Amino acid sequence: MVVMSKAVLHQVAEYFKVLSEVSRLEVLCSLKDGAKNVTQIMAETGLGQANVSKHLKILTQAGMVKRRPQGIQVYYEISDPRILPMCELVCQGLQNRLQFQLQEFHPTPRSQGQSDNLFAN
Protein backbone atom coordinates (compact mmCIF):
# COMPACT_ATOMS: atom_id res chain seq x y z
CA MET A 1 0.00 0.00 0.00
CA VAL A 2 3.05 2.27 0.62
CA VAL A 3 1.03 5.36 1.77
CA MET A 4 -1.99 6.08 -0.29
CA SER A 5 -3.35 9.55 -0.62
CA LYS A 6 -6.99 10.18 0.15
CA ALA A 7 -7.67 10.66 -3.54
CA VAL A 8 -6.24 7.25 -4.36
CA LEU A 9 -8.09 5.61 -1.48
CA HIS A 10 -11.26 7.11 -2.85
CA GLN A 11 -10.64 5.47 -6.21
CA VAL A 12 -9.78 2.14 -4.63
CA ALA A 13 -12.98 2.32 -2.58
CA GLU A 14 -14.95 3.08 -5.74
CA TYR A 15 -13.44 0.04 -7.41
CA PHE A 16 -14.37 -2.27 -4.56
CA LYS A 17 -17.85 -0.75 -4.40
CA VAL A 18 -18.46 -1.84 -7.97
CA LEU A 19 -17.67 -5.41 -6.89
CA SER A 20 -19.79 -5.21 -3.76
CA GLU A 21 -23.18 -5.94 -5.33
CA VAL A 22 -24.47 -9.44 -5.90
CA SER A 23 -26.16 -8.50 -9.17
CA ARG A 24 -22.99 -7.07 -10.64
CA LEU A 25 -21.03 -10.14 -9.59
CA GLU A 26 -23.68 -12.24 -11.30
CA VAL A 27 -23.26 -10.21 -14.47
CA LEU A 28 -19.49 -10.68 -14.30
CA CYS A 29 -19.94 -14.40 -13.69
CA SER A 30 -22.17 -14.67 -16.72
CA LEU A 31 -19.36 -13.14 -18.77
CA LYS A 32 -16.60 -15.33 -17.41
CA ASP A 33 -16.50 -17.58 -20.44
CA GLY A 34 -16.87 -15.02 -23.17
CA ALA A 35 -18.80 -12.05 -24.54
CA LYS A 36 -22.57 -11.90 -24.28
CA ASN A 37 -25.21 -9.40 -25.32
CA VAL A 38 -27.63 -7.77 -22.90
CA THR A 39 -30.47 -10.16 -23.65
CA GLN A 40 -28.25 -13.15 -23.00
CA ILE A 41 -27.05 -11.65 -19.74
CA MET A 42 -30.65 -11.00 -18.70
CA ALA A 43 -31.54 -14.61 -19.44
CA GLU A 44 -28.59 -16.02 -17.54
CA THR A 45 -28.92 -13.82 -14.48
CA GLY A 46 -32.69 -13.35 -14.33
CA LEU A 47 -32.23 -9.61 -13.81
CA GLY A 48 -34.52 -7.01 -15.42
CA GLN A 49 -33.52 -5.16 -18.57
CA ALA A 50 -33.11 -1.69 -17.09
CA ASN A 51 -31.25 -3.17 -14.17
CA VAL A 52 -28.78 -5.06 -16.34
CA SER A 53 -28.21 -1.99 -18.49
CA LYS A 54 -27.47 0.11 -15.45
CA HIS A 55 -25.08 -2.42 -13.95
CA LEU A 56 -23.30 -2.81 -17.28
CA LYS A 57 -22.83 0.93 -17.45
CA ILE A 58 -21.27 0.95 -13.99
CA LEU A 59 -19.01 -1.98 -14.86
CA THR A 60 -17.99 -0.30 -18.11
CA GLN A 61 -17.21 3.02 -16.45
CA ALA A 62 -15.05 1.15 -13.95
CA GLY A 63 -13.11 -0.37 -16.83
CA MET A 64 -14.02 -3.89 -15.81
CA VAL A 65 -16.07 -4.62 -18.89
CA LYS A 66 -15.83 -3.59 -22.52
CA ARG A 67 -18.83 -2.52 -24.61
CA ARG A 68 -18.99 -3.68 -28.22
CA PRO A 69 -22.09 -2.75 -30.27
CA GLN A 70 -22.78 -5.18 -33.06
CA GLY A 71 -25.75 -4.25 -35.21
CA ILE A 72 -28.85 -3.92 -33.11
CA GLN A 73 -27.24 -5.71 -30.20
CA VAL A 74 -24.51 -4.75 -27.76
CA TYR A 75 -21.99 -7.27 -26.57
CA TYR A 76 -20.09 -7.00 -23.34
CA GLU A 77 -16.98 -8.82 -22.20
CA ILE A 78 -14.65 -8.72 -19.24
CA SER A 79 -11.72 -6.40 -19.93
CA ASP A 80 -9.93 -6.58 -16.60
CA PRO A 81 -8.28 -9.99 -16.17
CA ARG A 82 -7.65 -9.26 -12.50
CA ILE A 83 -11.30 -9.46 -11.56
CA LEU A 84 -11.96 -13.17 -11.66
CA PRO A 85 -8.73 -14.13 -9.87
CA MET A 86 -9.50 -11.51 -7.26
CA CYS A 87 -12.99 -12.90 -6.67
CA GLU A 88 -11.49 -16.34 -6.34
CA LEU A 89 -8.93 -15.08 -3.87
CA VAL A 90 -11.69 -13.63 -1.72
CA CYS A 91 -13.72 -16.79 -2.09
CA GLN A 92 -10.80 -18.89 -0.95
CA GLY A 93 -10.23 -16.62 2.04
CA LEU A 94 -13.85 -17.04 3.07
CA GLN A 95 -13.52 -20.80 2.75
CA ASN A 96 -10.40 -20.83 4.91
CA ARG A 97 -12.13 -18.78 7.53
CA LEU A 98 -15.13 -21.10 7.69
CA GLN A 99 -12.86 -24.12 7.83
CA PHE A 100 -11.04 -22.56 10.76
CA GLN A 101 -14.32 -21.87 12.54
CA LEU A 102 -15.40 -25.44 11.89
CA GLN A 103 -12.22 -26.79 13.44
CA GLU A 104 -13.10 -24.98 16.65
CA PHE A 105 -15.88 -27.52 17.11
CA HIS A 106 -13.30 -30.33 17.26
CA PRO A 107 -10.87 -29.11 19.88
CA THR A 108 -7.75 -31.24 19.69
CA PRO A 109 -4.42 -30.34 21.30
CA ARG A 110 -2.87 -29.80 17.88
CA SER A 111 -5.53 -27.56 16.45
CA GLN A 112 -5.52 -25.19 19.42
CA GLY A 113 -3.58 -21.99 19.18
CA GLN A 114 -1.76 -23.07 16.05
CA SER A 115 -2.14 -19.69 14.48
CA ASP A 116 -4.17 -16.69 15.41
CA ASN A 117 -4.23 -15.73 11.78
CA LEU A 118 -7.46 -16.81 10.17
CA PHE A 119 -6.04 -16.51 6.70
CA ALA A 120 -2.67 -18.18 7.05
CA ASN A 121 -1.67 -19.87 3.83
The reply on whether position 11 binds DNA by CB under 7 A is: no
C-beta of 74 vs 96, nearer to DNA: 74
- Return d(Cα 30, Cα 41) in angstroms, integer: 6
Contact with DNA (CB under 7 A) among 21, 94, 103, 111? 21
Contact 44, 37 (CB under 8 A): no
Task: Please state the closest distance from residue 105 (CB atom) to its own copies, in A.
Answer: 17
- Strand 73-78 vs strand 65-70: parallel, antiparallel, or unpaired? antiparallel
CB burial of residue 52 (10 Å; 0-12, 13-18, 19+): buried
C-beta of 48 vs 63, nearer to DNA: 48
**Which of the residues 63 through 92 are near DNA (CB under 7 A)?**
67, 69, 71-74
The item of its own copies, DNA, none sharing an interface with residue 82, based on CB under 5 to 8 Å by kind, is its own copies
Q: Comparing C-alpha atoms, which of 80, 88, 92 is closest to residue 118?
A: 92
Kindly list the residues in this chain that would bind DNA in the complex (CB under 7 A).
17, 21-23, 37-39, 42, 47-58, 67, 69, 71-74
